[in-house]
Amino acid sequence: MAAALDTRREIETPEGVVLSERVAGPLPRAVAWGVDLLMRALLYMILATILEIAGAFAQGLMLIVVFALEWGYGVAFELTLNGRTPGKLVLGLQTVMDDGTPVTTRASIVRNLLRVADFLPVGFLLGLTSALVDPYGRRLGDLAGGTLVVYRRAAAAERGALPPGPVIPPPTPLRPDEQQVLVDLAQRGPGLSLDRRIELAELVGAGWGLSGSAALDRVTAVARFVRGDAPGEAPAPAPAPARPGDGAAP
């Protein structure tokens, strides 16, 4: 199902279904890293101003805090915030194991320590190369830890019933995948311009000898039948825009 071009990783779960993770590419990850860098810089500035007044003792403490932030920032947030650092939170990303389960302590430590290698020789060149070569966009740290950085799913838009209207059975039997395409087309309608909808509907309607808005109306009506929507009042038919090459509806 997933084309080789798709940045999806399919995971078979113990429940016997295949779930697909949408893997994040280098750019959003770089931006997330930048946000985290900014966060740390801000923290350092605040710490520095507080400790400036204090003496050598505080300087020692400061360096310990810097150490903890430099090396522990990623691990601490990934383990407490469901695999997200503040940067990933902003970008809608999440670190997970490559089987889709939450990131483990071991994996988080490994992937964050190996950021050093990904940074080599300059400016994350090695990590970028690895992310571009790997089909799932993993840098060396991800490969070693067995982790993925994925997009957090936004709650899927609810596309329930189609707007009420006539229900017409298809003039010819439809294969299951044809039915799926038909209903998807009808449901996606509101996101497309009328011209585009008619254009797409004509691809289907041509086989039924229909064109123009008649094809769109018929496709929608058949989609209702396929979905099993209850027949309802047909809305007032919108006047079809005059289009060159519109054939007469049968």
Partner 1 sequence: MKQSWFEERGEAFWRGHDELLGALERGGKHPRSASLPQEHAQICSMLALARERRYTLGLIDRLEELALRGQRVLYAGRADPEPPFRGLMQRFPRAVREHWALHVLAATLFYGPWIFGMILVANRPELATMVVDPSTLIQMEQMYDPSGEVQAGERTLSDDVAMFGYYIWNNVGIALRTFGAGAALGVGSGLILVYNGLVIGAVSGHLTAVGLGGSFWPFVIGHGSFELTAIVIAGAAGLKLGWGLVAPGRLGRAAALRAGAREALPLILGAGGMLFIAAGIEAFWSPSRVIPDEVKLAVGATLWLGVLGYLILGGRTRHAR
Q: Site residues (CB under 8 A) for partner 1? A: 13, 15-17, 19-21, 55-57, 59-64, 66-67, 70-71, 82, 96, 100-102, 104-106, 109-110, 113-118, 120, 126, 134, 140-141, 143-146, 153, 155-161, 176-177, 179-180, 183-184, 187, 226-230
The dihedral through the CA atoms of 126, 129, 133, 134 has a sign that is positive
Residue nearer to partner 1 on the CB measure, 214 or 221? 221
Residue nearer to partner 1 on the CB measure, 48 or 67? 67
Least distance from partner 1 to the Cβ atom of residue 116, Å:
3
Least distance from partner 1 to the Cβ atom of residue 134, Å:
8
Residue nearer to partner 1 on the CB measure, 126 or 240? 126
Q: Which two tokens stand for residue 212?
A: 């123009």
Q: Do 153 and 26 touch, CB atoms closer than 8 A?
A: no
Residue nearer to partner 1 on the CB measure, 189 or 212? 189
Q: For residues 221 and 231, give the distance between their C-alpha atoms in angstroms, rounded to a whole number.
A: 9
Residue type, position 49, single letter: T
Q: Where are the alpha helices (DSSP H) in the chain?
A: 26-52, 56-80, 86-91, 105-113, 115-119, 125-133, 140-145, 176-188, 194-205, 212-227
Least distance from partner 1 to the Cβ atom of residue 89, Å:
13
Least distance from partner 1 to the Cβ atom of residue 245, Å:
31
What Å distances lie between residue 164 and 184, 205, 221, CA to CA? 16, 20, 9
Least distance from partner 1 to the Cβ atom of residue 176, Å:
4
Residue nearer to partner 1 on the CB measure, 147 or 211? 147
Residue type, position 199, single letter: E
